[in-house]
Homo-oligomer: A and B are copies of this chain.
Amino acid sequence: MDELKIIEIKKSVFADNDLDADALRKELKGKGVYLLNLMSSPGSGKTTTLIRTINLLKDKLRIAVMEADIDSDVDAIKIREATGIQSIQLHTGGMCHLDAEMTRQGLDGLAMEGLDLVILENVGNLVCPAEFDTGAARNAMILSVPEGHDKPLKYPLMFSVCDVVVINKIDVLPYFDFDIEKCKEYVHMRNPKAQVIPICAKTGEGVEDFARWIENEVKSWKNS
C-alpha cells in the first residue's frame, strides 16, 4: 500500500472565515463534490462509524475521507485499510478545530477528480469546531451513549449547527442512564430540524439509516 499522505495544516491567514467558507462551498458545488463535516467528542466512535457507513455507500458514491487529528495517523490508516477508499491525515499541530482555509489545505491534498463526497472528520471537541464554518454542505455530529443525554444542554452551539445527530453505542444503553427520548428533546431545543439517528457502529445496527441520510443529502444537493 502507498505511504499515507499526511498534511501539516498551517494557521489560516483569512480574517473572515464565514466569507471564505461560503467561497469554498461555492467552489465545491462547482466541482460537484459534497463536503460533510463530522464532529464529536473524543472517543465517540467517529472512525468506526465512518468505516461502517462508507462500506455501505462506496458502491453508490465515490468517497474520500480527511482525518483531522492533533498528532496521530491511526485513523486515516484504519479508514483506508477497512474501506479501500482514499483517506488522508490532516495534522492540526495542536489546533483545536479546522476552519475553511484549513479545510481547503486538506482538500488540496486529495485527488478530487470524480469524487461525489468528501467526509471531514474534525478534531474531537464539542466546543471549538462548532464555531468555525468549514465550507461543508452540512454538519453532522456523533454523540455516544456514555457521554450522557444532557450534552445538548451543555454544548448548545455544537447541537445548533448540526443537521444530523447520530447517537452511537446504543448497544451499551442498558449500562448507562441515557434516555434517547430526552436526548431528542434536548437536540430539538437547539435545532428543531435536526435528524436524530441511533446506531451501534460496533455491530452495524442503524448505520444504514445514517448511510441513507447521506445518500439522500448528496443526491438532492447535486440536483439543487
Contact = CB atoms under 8 A, between A and B. Distances in A.
Interface of A: 41-44, 69-72, 74, 94, 96, 123-128, 131, 144-148, 150-151, 153-157, 169, 171-172, 175-176
A36 to B, nearest CB: 21
A114 to B, nearest CB: 31
Contact of A146 (B43, B70, B94): B43
With a 10 A CB-CB cut-off, give which of A41, A71, A157, A169 has the most chain B CB atoms. A41
A154 B150 CA distance: 25
Nearest to A75: B154
A129 to B, nearest CB: 10
A43 B147 contact: yes
Contacts of A74: 150, 153-154
A123 B176 CA distance: 22
A148 B47 CA distance: 12
Contacts of A145: 146
B146 A71 contact: no
A137 to B, nearest CB: 25
A164 B37 CA distance: 34
A173 B96 CA distance: 29
A126 B125 contact: yes
A145 to B, nearest CB: 8
* 5 nearest CB pairs, A to B: A43-B147, A146-B146, A96-B127, A43-B148, A41-B42
A123 B151 CA distance: 12
A54 to B, nearest CB: 20
B151 A43 contact: yes
